[in-house]
Amino acid sequence: MAIIILEPAIATAALLGFIGGVVRVMVGMLKAISVKSKIYWGLTIATALASGFVGILLGVVFNFSQLLSLLAGFGGLDILDKIYQAFKVQKVIVVSESQAKAMKGGKT
């Protein structure tokens, strides 16, 4: 059985990312408590673990400083969504100038 030894900086980034993800769920719980919503503890714990796991991944990826690892963990799925949108392929329609004027309702 092999023992995995992590670089201390990577382990720290992973831990801070996990903490950031869990803190985000705790902030959501505080909001729910403030408006007296019912808290489903099973779902909350599962969400905290999932958010923590995403936080670990993003904390390691954004390991430029400890604060950035913590914030990446807190941002979690928002960061992944923005990265996805940045690389998402979009359709582009190329038209001539006269066609563009016609589309706008101008004279050709």
Residue 17 lies in a domain: yes
**From CA 95, how far away is CA 74, in angstroms rounded?**
43
Residue 3 lies in a domain: no
Q: Enter the tokens of residue 21.
A: 């993800």
Residue 78 lies in a domain: yes
User: Percentage of residues in the chain with pLDDT exceeding 90?
Assistant: 9
pTM of the predicted protein model:
0.67
Spell out the residues 6+ positions from residue 4 whose beta carbon is closer than 8 angstroms to its own.
none
Residue 23 lies in a domain: yes
Residue 26 lies in a domain: yes
**From CA 63, how far away is CA 29, in angstroms rounded?**
28
Domain count within the chain: 1
Per-residue pLDDT, 106:
58
Per-residue pLDDT, 107:
56
- Structural domain span for residue 99: 8-104
Q: Using one digit for the tens of pLDDT, what is the confidence trace for 44-86? A: 898 888 888 988 988 888 888 888 888 888 888 787 778 777 8
Residues 35-52 have a mean pLDDT of: 88
